[in-house]
Each structure stands twice: as structure tokens, then as C-alpha cells.
Amino acid sequence: MTSTTPEQDIKNEDQSISPDLASNLTDSSTHGSQGSSADRTQLISTATKQITTATSSHLKAGSMLQQRYKIEKLLGSGGISHIYRARDTFLEQAGIAEPFVAIKVLQKQFVDQPEALQLLLQEARKTQQLAHPNIIRLFDVSSDEGHFFLVMEYLDGETLEQVINRYKPNGLPYKFAQKLLEQIADGLEYAHQQGIVHADLKPANIMLDRNGHVKLLDFGVAQKLQKNVDIYAAQEQSQATPVSGFTPAYASAELLAGHAPTPSDDVYSFGCLAYELLTSKHPFHRLPADKAQREQKKATKPAHLNFLQWAAFRRALMFDRDNRTASVGKLMRQLNRPVWPVFLVTAAGIMMLTAGMSYVQGQQGSLHELQQTLAAHQATLSYQANLIQLQPTEILEELEKLTDQNPIISSGLLNFHASTMLGYFEQQIDTLLSDRSERYPNYIEIEHLTEQAGQLYPDSHQLAAVRNRVARSKQSAIEVLQNQLTTMLIAQNYSRDPETNNPYQVLADLKRIDPSYQPQPNEEAIQLFVQEFESAMYQHNALKLQQLLAIGQAAFYAVEQAQPLIEQGLHMQSAIDTMAYYQEQYEQGREPEFPYAAAEIFYQYRFRALTNALEQSGDIAEVDAVYDQWQQYAVIWPNDFELNIRLRRQLADKYLTLSGELLRTHQVRNAERLMRRANELMVSVSG
């Protein structure tokens, strides 16, 4: 049978708390803070007694939450919650290939329990602070028709506990376990930097997905309530029993004694699970730390660890917090430290000391010079040792100094910290991708980070995968927004209403994602826009023209068929705005003052068309047609409006000319009608 690695055996919207839920949970928190330990015991007791009720209260497949999350199936049940796999219909409509989420729903019988509601909010708030590729993501926390729930990243894989069981009795080789441990450590170190201690770290609270990615679960809840039976997507089968919310086999002696959690407590838990991953055995035979300490239990060295790695493990498993390694980051650096530099440094030291002694004996006069040389070497070694301990942000600052001064050390520093630095960049990118302070992630900043990382690690396959993921995410967002924009333009939704999703907001989102983006409306949208613009121009609908001119500049300016109309509109932009205000006031029943100057510009094209038609008319019917069109404007134009005066004079002159021709042919009755109309026009001008 061919052996495989764990990675081969195993083959992600708005982080906000709804106001209603926050109100309910805040009230619950207030009451819960007054509860006694007996209240908490009653809560756990209730979970046991009402298991039958909980089972019957499952959400059915096909149920909808928030008109968005469609329940597919139950994944598992715990002390106070049910876990479901659901389909995010918003993501599905956006074309996301795997729109799955996990939903943790508080069981019905706990909805009125203040402490349970308080814990749900506590878990939400703490997890929301953590945006890291090795920590499960929380997308939403809300309520719907009495259901209180968290929406989380859906993980398809298995727990670390299942991995350990599968590799019994020998455990994983260190080179395979190292990949998992580094991811766990990265997630923990990030959480500690945010001021959050897990305090219930154990194999059942860690998942490995089908791509070999590790995810830490259940932050911020473990120290308050029994959680080892409420594991996301997997039912724990541990022999350990909870004490004060912790799992004794993995809790430090300080936690078991009721002390406040610190990162060092997570180091102890990490040491236990790492030892178990490597050996399939708990270091102290699953005894709680306080009992193991009283019995003076000692862990035995695994055969496949070198002496430096075992020394690091022993410090992590110290029962006394003061003697224990302070951080998981430091522990991993100690575990990954190669053996040969220690021998080389030691040998070099002995050689230098021997040479120095010989030199002193032979050259007593150069003692001071030797001391200076040794001090310089010591300073160099100290500086290089400090470089190993730097955090990613400090490394980036140091690189700016080293690149020109000492490129060899710069290159060595990058190689030594490659895993940490790539993890740092990926974490920063994931944080930006999951940022919901704007409608879409800041892809400009994300691409700046990938470019910065690419300059440091141009051949990184991990970075290439991140780039591809970012590119797919960006392209997917652009395609979704383009489809929204096209739908709006075809529907002639040119509104700026901030209460609705409008084309200006969509265009702003597209520009934020890609500043070089240029709208490309389809043929149907273009034809509808041109027809609407021409109609508004013919009807002199200033309000409509104002709207069309705005959307034209935003979405149609580069379109050949629309550009002449838009240019014409821009030429009379000020007049359109003035007339739009006048028309709006007029329609509201007010009596605004007629804007003569603006109107003269606004109606100039129509006036020109009417006068041209009048000049080219050759019979009474053609002149009457112009007269009829003038009457449509006569109700809008004041008598003293210059264009109105000029057009009436031209009509009167034309009717008088035609009446003279009729008199010459003895068509007296028709001639009289034309003279009366000419007279009416002249009187209106002189009046």
C-alpha cells in the first residue's frame, strides 16, 4: 500500500452583527453577567435533558434564512447548537462555483437562555477580529424568525484528531507534521498578536481541508462553556471531559487552576497536540497537567526528533508557565533550527579561542587589537542572530537597509524567513479580501501587496497561487458588476437614488476595482439610450435630458453613436440645468420666473428647425404645419420671449405672402383666412 501525506489524504460577505441581534444579545449579556455558577450548570444540564427536543427542532433541507441562506443538510449537533451546510444564494447568483457556507444555529431551547446568547455574540465578536488564512472565517451573525445563527466558512475535510487516529501507532514523520504545525502556529501567533488566546486548543478544534489547509475553530468560547461536543463539521470522540470549559488533557496547569489565559497556555496545548501528531500518543498519557505535575510525569523523546527539536518540545511542555516557551512563533523557530550551524558556531568559537590564546602567547603586544577583533565578530554574530528573531514588518524595514549594503545577508534573510514572509503577505491579502467596509475589496492595495511579495520571491509557487486566486476574485467581481450594469442600462434605469443599487454605484465599484475600466454597453443598451436622448431633445424635456446627459457621460461617452448627442448636450449643459429647475418648479404648481437667456440656448435647435421649415414651405399646408408646431411652444413661451416674437413675425409674413398669391388667383375666402391668422400673430407681437 502506497503511503501518503496528510495533504494527499485530505483533499470562503458582510462581517457585521445585525442591530436586532446585537440588541437581544446585549440584553442577554446584562442578565447573564448576574448569573451564578449554578445558572451555568443549569444551562449545560438543560442541553443534556432536552436533546430529544433539540433533535426535533432541526431546520429542514430547503429552509431559507434571511432570504439568502438555503439549508442543505445537518452536519452535526453540539451542546447548544446545530451546524448546517447551506448554499449562499447571493454568491450562487454571482456565479461563484462553490457558494457553500456553514451555519451554526442556536438550538431553540437556548434562545431564552441569556448565557447561551451571550456566548454566541462573544464567539462572533472574537472571530470577527481574526482575519487569517489559518483561522475559520466568520461572515455574518444574525437572526431570522427566532433563529439565532453564525454564518461561517464551509470546510470540507477532517479534524486533526482524525488525522492522528489514522496514523496510529507511529505518528507522522516530522517533515509531514511540520507543514501542519507551521500553519497552526501561524494562526495562533496571529490571534495572540490581536490579544486573543484560544485556551481550548486540541486536535478536535483544528481542521484540515482537502487542499491541505489548516483551520483553527472555536475561538473565544471555550473558556466559558463546554464546547468539546460542539465542534464545527465534526463530532469529537475524545476521552477527555470538560472542566471549567477547558479540555483537561490539553489545558495548562494554570488554566486548570483558574488563572487568566495567556499565550503561554496555548503553547502548552500546542506542544501536547504536536507531540501527539508525531507519536500518536499524548505526552502525559492524557493526564491533566496539574495531576501529571504532582506525579512528576515526564514525556519521552520521540525517536525521529533531533536533540534540538526535543529540547524545544520539552520547554513547550513545562508545567510551570515561567519555564515554558513564551510564544508559538519562538517554539517553531526553535523546532526548525538546523543542527549544523550550532556545531559550526561552537567549533568556530573553539578555533577562535584557541587561535586567540596562541596569538596572545606569541604576541603579547597585540592583545588589545585581538579583543577589538573578537568584539567585532561577536557584534556581527549578535546582529545576525537578531535578524532571525524579526517579525515580518521588521524584516521589510531591515531589507531596505540591507539590499544595497549587504545583498548576501539580505538574500539569506529572505530565504530563512520565506515561509513566514509568504504567510504574512497571504494573511494581509486575505484580510483585504474579506474586508467589508466597502462593497468590494481594495484590489489596488491587494495587487500592490502581490507585486511587493513578487519582487522578494519571484519564483514562489505559493505566491503564484495567491496571484491566481486574486485574479479570479477580481475578474469574477468585474463580471458580476458588468452584468448588473448591462441589466440596468437595458431597463433604462438611469437613477441616482442612493437607496437603491444604481448604475453610478456600480460604475464606482468597477472603477475602484480597476481604475482603468471603461464601460462597454451592448448594442441594445446603446440603441435605447440614443432613442431616449433624441426623444427628450425633440420634446425639450430638460429634466430627462439632465438625467440622460449624466448617464451618457458616465456610461456612453466612448460610444460612437451616442457621442454627438452627448457633445450637443454638453454644449448646452448650463441651459439644460436651468430649464430643468424651471420645469420642476412649474410641475410642482409654483410660478417660477421664466429663464429667458437659458431658454434661448435650450430652444435654439428647435427654433432653427422651424424657421428652416418655414423658409422652405411652398403651400398653405406646410405653413400650417409649422404654425401647429409653434402652438405647442406658445403655451410655454412668454409673449415677450425673443424666439417666440421672431417666429410669430415670420409666420405672419409667410401668411401675408400666401394670401396675396391667393387674391391674385381670386381665391378670396382662403386669402381672408390667411390674413386673419397673420393679423392675429402681428397683434400678439405688438401686444
| Cα 236 off chain centre by | 31
Confidence of residue 123 (pLDDT cuts 50, 70, 90): low
CB-CB contact of 572 with 602 (8 Å) = yes
> Among positive and negative, which fits the CA dihedral 525, 526, 532, 535?
negative
- Assess whether pLDDT exceeds 90 at residue 215: yes
pLDDT at 242: 38
Query: Of the ranges 30-39, 294-303, 441-450, 628-637, which one carries the lowest mean pLDDT score?
Result: 30-39
Does domain 12-154 bear CATH number 3.30.200.20? yes
Q: Per-residue confidence at 287, pLDDT binned at 50, 70, 90? A: very high
Lowest mean pLDDT among 375-389, 601-615, 673-687: 375-389
Average pLDDT over residues 139-155: 86
Q: pLDDT at position 368, please?
A: 66
What is the signed CA dihedral for 474, 476, 477, 479, rounded to 10 degrees? 120
| Catalytic residue status for 200 | yes
* 3-class secondary-structure state, position 261: coil
> Is pLDDT at 613 greater than 70 in this prediction?
yes
Query: To the nearest whole percent, how much of the chain has pLDDT over 70?
Result: 77
Q: Is the pLDDT of residue 162 over 80?
A: yes
Lowest mean pLDDT among 65-69, 143-147, 480-484, 560-564: 143-147
Sequence spans of domains, the chain: 12-154, 158-335, 523-596, 603-686
What pLDDT score does 38 carry?
35
Which cell goes with 105?
Answer: 444555529
* 490-498 own/partner pairs: CB under 8 Å, 24+ apart: 490/522, 490/524, 490/525, 490/528, 492/528, 492/529, 492/532, 494/547, 494/548, 494/550, 494/551, 495/547, 496/550
Question: What mean pLDDT is reported for the chain?
Answer: 80
What pTM value is reported for the model?
Answer: 0.47
For cell 452583527, name the residue: 17
pLDDT over 60 (residue 244) = no
Q: Give the model's pLDDT for residue 380.
A: 63
Fold of 158-335: Transferase(Phosphotransferase); domain 1 (1.10.510)
Q: Given a cut of 70, is residue 17 above it in pLDDT? A: no
pLDDT band at 621 (very low <50, low <70, confident <90, very high): very high
**Per-residue pLDDT, 97:** 76
For residues 280 and 283, what is the distance between their CA atoms, to the nearest angstrom?
Answer: 9
> Which of the following is catalytic: 200, 218, 265, 266?
200
- For 33-167, where are the alpha helices, taking DSSP H only? 37-49, 51-56, 89-93, 114-128, 160-166
d(CA 434, CA 428): 10
Q: Residue 246: phi, psi to the nearest 5?
A: -100, 160
**Most confident among 86-90, 102-106, 181-185, 451-455 (mean pLDDT):** 181-185
Average pLDDT of span 565-591: 90
Flag the least confident range among 78-82, 504-508, 571-575. 78-82
pLDDT of residue 200: 87
What pLDDT does residue 335 have?
86
Instruction: Provide the pLDDT confidence category of residue 413 given band limits of 50, 70 and 90.
Output: confident
Residue 468 CA to residue 370 CA, distance in Å, equals 56
pLDDT at 234 exceeding the cut of 80: no
Taking 70 as the threshold, does the pLDDT of residue 5 lie above it? no
